[in-house]
Structure 1
Amino acid sequence: MGEEELRACLTELGEEMAGGFEYRITQHPAYSDRLQEAVAIMSELGYDTRINQTSENEVEIIANNCVFQELAQQHEEFCKLDISFLTNLLKTDIEHTECIVRNGKYCRFKITNTTQHHSV
């Protein structure tokens, strides 16, 4: 499988994973509660995560670990799985601003279009 095929496959897998948890997110009307639920879901999947409010209109999810670290070290495309999962789970744009596999201390996922949501 080539890089593009792997990236597409992992993006689709992230979408499918998010679909399996969508009912848990949609039962929370407040966006801050949706973020908390996303972090709870990530914890259940093996991530050590937290929410960091970086400004009034910007928030990020920080993971202290990468559950795909060994795979991602060989194929960075595995980061697409996390991005696709969060994008589809929270129905928002996600920017992967720091990555453990690329010598970061954390994996940071910045929620970039928070203007449509209330502050957390």
Structure 2
Amino acid sequence: MANNLARKIEFNPEKETKAEQAQQMVLNHHHVAWSAFEKSLLVIGTLLTLGLMTFLVSSSIAATSAQHELTNVQQLVAKGQNNVSDLHQEIGELTSSARMNKIAQSKGLTLIEKNIRTIH
């Protein structure tokens, strides 16, 4: 009852070498000339790259310049607000009732309470 299930494979070396020869590719290392389309693509790509680089640098310089100008304007506005604040404080000091009473007394004026009307 011995059953041989193994396949019978015949080896033919001639078929093997022909298959290997068909699969080998021959590489040619000679210089291939560029076509006009490839040259124009290279020139257009180079010009486009240089143009975008120039645009990027100029826009960066413009942004930096605008930032410096904004900082200068903000400093001027802060100085103006400080001046306005100082002037409001000076107005408050000059119109204070204590100062008015002192000036009135130095000029010989007196305060009559019944002539003062308080408005709320």
Normalised by the length of structure 1, the TM-score is: 0.20
Name the structure where strand makes up a greater proportion of residues: 1
Name which one, 1 or 2, has greater alpha-carbon Rg: 2
Higher helix proportion (structure 1 or 2): 2
User: Which fold has the larger relative contact order, with Cα–Cα distance below 8 Å and residues 6 or more apart in sequence?
Assistant: 1
